[in-house]
Chains A and B, each alone.
Chain A
Amino acid sequence: MKVENNTEKVITPLNTGDQIAKANYKKALNREKMTIWLGRIVVGVVIFGLWEILSGRVMNEFWLSKPSAIVTRLYDMAKSGDLWFHTSFTLQEALIGLVIGMIIGTIVGILLALSGRLDKWLSPYIMALYSLPRVALAPLFVVWFGIGMTSKIIMVVAMVVFVAFYNAYEGIKNMDQDLLDMMRTYKASKLKTLTWVILPSITVWILTSLRLNIGMALIGAVIAELIGSSQGLGYYITYSSSLLDITGVFAGLVIIMLIAVIMEQIIVQMEKRLLKYR
């Protein structure tokens, strides 16, 4: 009696049958994607079309504005330089705050998760700070750091840092213990363990917190600008609303929305690159 155990030995990376099946699958996938995008465009056209038609006919245009007016306003703002003047200010605050908050939150999260006991001592205080509505801190930051950019950046950091912290912390706590044991049996240094195992393990978590924090950073920046500022999209929105310029308010909101979508897309591309092993 003889057993054929060469099933494992004849392994080729891809055979032609697989390739054909893969091509068919890709086609079906593309068709599915097309339908989804078509549906999305239809929904958009219907919503904005209704808004455009109803405004001024069924509802008062003064309170509701309309898409065409908003687009015109954005065009005018771009021409006069107002658009970049306000957007760049808000964008700078949000990005600088996001980077600082992510770095601080992630590092503290990693350190506390690995600390053994320190995290247990600190956790109720961190939790208390986290549950504080940080929006309420904005006036305090303005008093402490003035109405310039610093107070806004601090506000953004306050919004961002906790999400970064909790994600990094959870990421460490959920690491595969076998991988750490494996590194220990190879007598790996702390640095090697960090770069080969710990950081890649929590990359998913960091990217998640980055994605959540884009929205948080924009909220922080805009809210701080609402409290006291002479520049930025938050300022432009309050200024417009005080003049009952609803088109202006909407124009500000549209820009904020666009920034969020673009930044989110950047993160999606980063995810594709960093997590291609999944």
Chain B
Amino acid sequence: MAEANIKLELKNLSVRYLTKGQNTLALNDVNIKVKDGEFVSVVGPSGCGKSTLLKVVSGLLKPAGGTALIDNKEIKGVPSDVGMVFQNDALLPWKTVLENVRLPLAIANQSKAQQLDRARELIKMVGLEGFEGFYPKQLSGGMKKRVALARTFAHDPSIFLMDEPFGPLDAQTRVSIGEEFLKIWERVGKSVLFITHDIEEAIALSDRVLVMSNRPGTIKAEFTVPLERPRPFYDIRFDSRFKELQREVWESLADVEKESEEFRV
């Protein structure tokens, strides 16, 4: 029965890119399992193919080899219950906050009244009440991120795919958004595959942290986070277990960097 609650499984996955006649191997022999309701982070150096990984899971990119399964079914085309959170938010600049959040509900052909009710509820949940009529241009980076999160919650996926979602934010905003996201997530309890290069963020959020190597990307190490939930997103960083794990992940990542450097020479 252990296999039954695997939400996402990647088996020996490899991805090739064909750009300007050059055939590059972006991912090689990647194996990842995400259980139902589990929060898994992938950390790695920039350009190691982390984003490519999410594109495969969201069905936007076809793998060259291996299999990608959601609920034990092979991913063909775009699966219906994945929710992608893009690094740059991918908000529609010509739509207001309310319209942006309503988008997935409109696509699902809900009644207009239902869409608006739900969208308003979600906007309130992410703390943007009063900004329904604002355009993305008028919002700060942190507020845009909240809109993007509210929109993803509106879609209500069973697995969140997050591509360095808090990357472009300043440190302070990053912490407060991360904290709120963690609180909301602890309530909804959906699976998350989270891509980041921030070790602290990865540990504070996740159940497991995977370290990815440089191109071609492959999983080099896996760490289980021994911290109970719910956890204080910021203060948990001063826990001795956190510190220890942080060092281990750091060393593993440093090895990866060193290897790739040698490889380049």
Chain A residues proximal to chain B, CB less than 8 Å? 1-3, 5-9, 11-13, 176, 178-179, 181-189, 192, 196-197, 200, 203, 277-278
In this assembly, does B127 line the interface, its C-beta being within 8 Å of a C-beta of chain A?
yes
In this assembly, does B64 line the interface, its C-beta being within 8 Å of a C-beta of chain A?
no
How many angstroms between the C-alpha atoms of A179 and B82 in the bound complex?
A: 16
In this assembly, does B225 line the interface, its C-beta being within 8 Å of a C-beta of chain A?
no
- Residues in A neighbouring B95, C-beta threshold 8 A: 196, 200, 277
Interface residues of B in 102-147 (CB under 8 A from A): 103-104, 106-107, 127, 130-131, 134-137, 140, 142-143
How many angstroms between the C-alpha atoms of A6 and B177 in the bound complex?
A: 10
B contact residues, total (Cβ < 8 Å): 39
How many angstroms between the C-alpha atoms of A217 and B88 in the bound complex?
A: 41
- Residues in A neighbouring B238, C-beta threshold 8 A: 1
How many angstroms between the C-alpha atoms of A8 and B93 in the bound complex?
A: 21
If A5-B175, A8-B176, A277-B94 touch, whether A187 touches B107 (CB-CB below 8 Å) is yes
- Residues in A neighbouring B92, C-beta threshold 8 A: 179, 196-197, 200
How many angstroms between the C-alpha atoms of A277 and B94 in the bound complex?
A: 5
Assess the B88–A178 pair: CB atoms within 8 A: yes
- Residues in B neighbouring A277, C-beta threshold 8 A: 93-95, 135-137
How many angstroms between the C-alpha atoms of A184 and B104 in the bound complex?
A: 11
Assess the A186–B172 pair: CB atoms within 8 A: no
Among residues of B, the one whose C-beta sits closest to the C-beta of A13 is: B130
If A185-B60, A186-B107, A192-B106 touch, whether A7 touches B80 (CB-CB below 8 Å) is no
Main secondary structure of the interface of A (DSSP, over half): loop
If A3-B234, A181-B90, A277-B94 touch, whether A186 touches B127 (CB-CB below 8 Å) is no
Among residues of A, the one whose C-beta sits closest to the C-beta of B88 is: A178
- Residues in A neighbouring B107, C-beta threshold 8 A: 183, 186-189, 192
- Residues in A neighbouring B130, C-beta threshold 8 A: 12-13
In this assembly, does B246 line the interface, its C-beta being within 8 Å of a C-beta of chain A?
no
**Contact partner of A186 among B136, B137, B155, CB < 8 A?**
B155
The listed residue with most B CB atoms (<10 A of its CB), out of A11, A12, A186, is A186
> Closest CB of chain A to B50's CB: distance in Å?
16
Among residues of B, the one whose C-beta sits closest to the C-beta of A197 is: B92
Among residues of B, the one whose C-beta sits closest to the C-beta of A7 is: B172
Assess the B58–A185 pair: CB atoms within 8 A: yes
Chain B residues proximal to chain A, CB less than 8 Å? 58-60, 78, 80, 82-84, 86, 88, 90, 92-95, 103-104, 106-107, 127, 130-131, 134-137, 140, 142-143, 155, 172-173, 175-177, 179, 234-235, 238
Selected A-B contacts with CB under 8 Å, 10 pairs = A5-B172, A6-B176, A12-B130, A178-B88, A181-B60, A182-B86, A185-B78, A185-B84, A278-B93, A278-B137
- Residues in B neighbouring A5, C-beta threshold 8 A: 172, 175-176, 179, 234
- Residues in B neighbouring A2, C-beta threshold 8 A: 235
- Residues in A neighbouring B135, C-beta threshold 8 A: 277
Assess the A186–B104 pair: CB atoms within 8 A: yes
> Closest CB of chain B to A273's CB: distance in Å?
12
> Closest CB of chain B to A80's CB: distance in Å?
49
How many angstroms between the C-alpha atoms of A200 and B86 in the bound complex?
A: 20
- Residues in B neighbouring A185, C-beta threshold 8 A: 58-60, 78, 82-84
If A186-B155, A196-B92, A200-B92 touch, whether A7 touches B86 (CB-CB below 8 Å) is no
Assess the A7–B173 pair: CB atoms within 8 A: yes
Among residues of A, the one whose C-beta sits closest to the C-beta of B128 is: A11
> Closest CB of chain B to A81's CB: distance in Å?
46
Assess the B172–A179 pair: CB atoms within 8 A: no
How many angstroms between the C-alpha atoms of A176 and B60 in the bound complex?
A: 15
Among residues of A, the one whose C-beta sits closest to the C-beta of B169 is: A8
How many angstroms between the C-alpha atoms of A13 and B86 in the bound complex?
A: 26
- Residues in B neighbouring A7, C-beta threshold 8 A: 172-173, 176
Assess the A181–B173 pair: CB atoms within 8 A: no
The listed residue with most A CB atoms (<10 A of its CB), out of B127, B155, B172, B235, is B172
How many angstroms between the C-alpha atoms of A4 and B80 in the bound complex?
A: 39
How many angstroms between the C-alpha atoms of A2 and B233 in the bound complex?
A: 12
- Residues in A neighbouring B84, C-beta threshold 8 A: 181-182, 185
How many angstroms between the C-alpha atoms of A278 and B182 in the bound complex?
A: 32
Assess the B234–A179 pair: CB atoms within 8 A: no
- Residues in A neighbouring B127, C-beta threshold 8 A: 8-9
Assess the A11–B143 pair: CB atoms within 8 A: yes
> Closest CB of chain B to A195's CB: distance in Å?
10
Among residues of B, the one whose C-beta sits closest to the C-beta of A274 is: B94
Among residues of B, the one whose C-beta sits closest to the C-beta of A178 is: B90
How many angstroms between the C-alpha atoms of A123 and B22 in the bound complex?
A: 27
Complex A-B, nearest 7 residue pairs according to Cβ-Cβ distance, in ascending order:
A5-B176, A182-B90, A200-B94, A277-B135, A178-B90, A185-B84, A188-B107
